[in-house]
């Protein structure tokens, strides 16, 4: 039944039925979690054999002749730079392979530009008291956390089906020298699963920022993470920037966190030689070399880029049924009420649900009381401030399928309950 068209008697009846259903579900004493985008156990098991590709009898010498057990080559071993070059679609000599976290590399990158000018003649960002950063919303809470930590004013930019609203981005960056960058998850964005259109990528590559040291933080965390047989295609920003002469604009990031093991994978970044020179100068002080054994282990396990893509097919087979559970339950339970909208992504790790305006916090609260943990309402906005109190990020990958079914039933009950409460005032 469509809630907005219901009489108050009809709504009261629905509300009473939902309250009973909620009480029954709460009584089950469940403990379910759809909060963070973590791979499930079955996905982690896919990479177990990687732990067998190296043992005490292995050859630890990399292609460049370096003994990977020892200090050396802080930008990573050649074969791993090549692999990440293919994953990111950039030349391997523009790649730096880091430790176990791309978020860590993003934090370091911002930190570097806080203290050292990325362009000669510009001020380090800590000397720009009114520094600002653009934050497409809804977006990734940990991105916003980095720029919050470094004292940026964060300006939300709405996302549409093509990516961030580029009219707003262009207007803002061309007029304000204190805007220093933008967070982007260009493919299967976190949380709404949108892939930036070709036009959006071209407009990014053609930006004319007032700040010479404006940088695009191009976090391609889900670049090869398809879940359907009709994957999205993302235009290559580095190629486009080469055409416009804006080669220094983007800084790219990715990792194997959602390919092998989160927290025990390998991360990488790529940037123009001008940018890399400044970043490398800092890394030289920060570290002697990252974990080359883990780099070598990953390369030996996959063989080549094709091996990575084959591995991703196995993830896809596990993830597709999980996304189907989420989407089918939303279709069955929430669609008829007309109170919510959600995304139907071709990849990534999330389904982004907009519940009835003004009810997201209440839904998350009701779910928690019934034993289902969700990402906090508002987390997808800078400073946790969703002006519509509407967006909730569903992360379907971690719970086993039977638990996911239960959790989604409870989520839908709570979303309907909160909508009825709101409409009945
Ligand atoms: N970037 C995005 C968009 C993510 O969603 C995540 C994790 O959820 C990360 C980065 C974290 O990546 P890493 O494990 O490489 O630090």
**What is the arithmetic mean of pLDDT over 358-385?**
96
User: Helix, strand, or coil here: 373?
Assistant: strand
Mean model confidence pLDDT for the chain: 97
Please report the pLDDT score of residue 377 as a whole number. 96
| Percent of the chain residues topping a pLDDT of 90 | 98
Are the C-beta atoms of 258 and 221 separated by less than 8 Å?
Answer: yes
| Percent of the chain residues topping a pLDDT of 70 | 100
- For tokens 């929430």, what's the residue? 334
pLDDT in tens, 114-162: 999 999 999 999 999 999 999 999 999 999 999 999 999 999 999 999 9
How far, in Å, CA of 378 to CA of 384, rounded? 4
Mutate to test the pocket of ligand 1, among 140, 189, 290 (most ligand atoms within 8 A of CB): 140
Report the separation in Å between the CA atom of 179 and the middle of ligand 1, taken as the mean of its atom positions.
24
pLDDT in tens, 326-344: 999 999 999 999 999 999 9
Give the residue from 286, 273, 247 showing the smallest Cα distance to 98. Answer: 286
How far, in Å, CA of 249 to CA of 241, rounded? 8
Across the strands, what pairs with 32?
Answer: 372
Ligand 1 in reach of 189 Cβ (< 6 A): no
- As given in the structure block, the two tokens for residue 346 are 């071709």
Please report the pLDDT score of residue 36 as a whole number. 84
Residues 6+ apart with CB under 8 A from 359: 389, 390, 415, 418, 419, 421, 422
Please report the pLDDT score of residue 257 as a whole number. 98
Checking if the pLDDT of 80 tops 90, the result is: yes
pTM for the whole structure: 0.97
Ligand 1 in reach of 262 Cβ (< 6 A): yes
Does 61-303 carry CATH code 3.40.640.10? Answer: yes
Please report the pLDDT score of residue 184 as a whole number. 98
Could you tell me the residue ranges of all domains in the chain?
3-44+309-424, 61-303
ipTM over cut 0.85: yes
Are the C-beta atoms of 322 and 396 separated by less than 8 Å?
Answer: yes
Does 3-44+309-424 carry CATH code 3.90.1150.10? Answer: yes
User: Helix, strand, or coil here: 179?
Assistant: strand
């Amino acid at each position: 039944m469509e809630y907005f068209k219901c009489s108050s008697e009809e709504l009261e009846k629905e509300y009473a039925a939902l309250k009973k259903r909620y009480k029954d579900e709460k009584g089950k004493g469940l403990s379910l979690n759809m909060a963070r985008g973590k791979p499930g156990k079955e996905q982690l098991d896919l990479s177990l054999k990687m732990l067998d590709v190296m043992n005490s009898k292995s050859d630890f010498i990399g292609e460049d002749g370096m003994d990977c057990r020892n200090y050396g080559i802080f930008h990573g071993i050649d074969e791993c730079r090549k692999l990440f070059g293919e994953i990111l679609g950039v030349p391997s000599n523009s790649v730096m392979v880091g430790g176990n976290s791309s978020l860590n590399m993003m934090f370091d990158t911002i930190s570097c530009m806080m203290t050292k000018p990325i362009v000669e003649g510009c001020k380090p960002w800590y000397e720009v008291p009114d520094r600002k950063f653009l934050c497409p919303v809804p977006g990734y809470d940990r991105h916003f956390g980095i720029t919050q930590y470094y004292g940026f004013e964060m300006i939300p930019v709405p996302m549409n089906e093509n990516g961030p609203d580029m009219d707003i981005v262009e207007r803002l960056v061309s007029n304000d020298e204190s805007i220093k960058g933008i967070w982007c998850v260009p493919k299967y964005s976190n949380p709404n699963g949108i892939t930036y259109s070709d036009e959006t990528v071209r407009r990014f590559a053609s930006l004319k920022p007032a700040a010479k040291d404006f940088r695009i933080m191009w976090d391609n965390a889900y670049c090869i993470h398809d879940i359907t047989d009709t994957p999205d295609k993302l235009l290559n920003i580095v190629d486009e920037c080469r055409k416009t002469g804006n080669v220094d604009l983007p800084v790219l990031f990715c990792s194997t966190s959602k390919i092998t093991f989160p927290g025990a994978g390998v991360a990488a970044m790529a940037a123009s030689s001008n940018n890399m020179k400044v970043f490398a100068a800092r890394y030289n002080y920060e570290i002697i070399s990252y974990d080359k054994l883990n780099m070598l282990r990953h390369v030996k396990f996959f063989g080549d880029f094709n091996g990575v893509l084959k591995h991703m097919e196995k993830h896809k087979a596990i993830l597709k049924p999980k996304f189907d559970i989420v989407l089918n339950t939303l279709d069955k339970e929430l669609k008829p009420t007309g109170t919510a909208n959600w995304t139907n992504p071709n990849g990534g790790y999330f389904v982004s649900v907009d519940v009835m305006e003004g009810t997201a916090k209440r839904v998350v609260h009701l779910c928690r009381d019934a034993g289902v943990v969700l990402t906090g309402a508002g987390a997808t906005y800078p400073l946790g401030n969703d002006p519509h109190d509407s967006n909730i990020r569903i992360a379907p990958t971690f719970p086993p399928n039977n638990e996911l079914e239960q959790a989604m039933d409870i989520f839908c009950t709570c979303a309907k309950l909160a909508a009825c409460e709101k409409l009945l005032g």
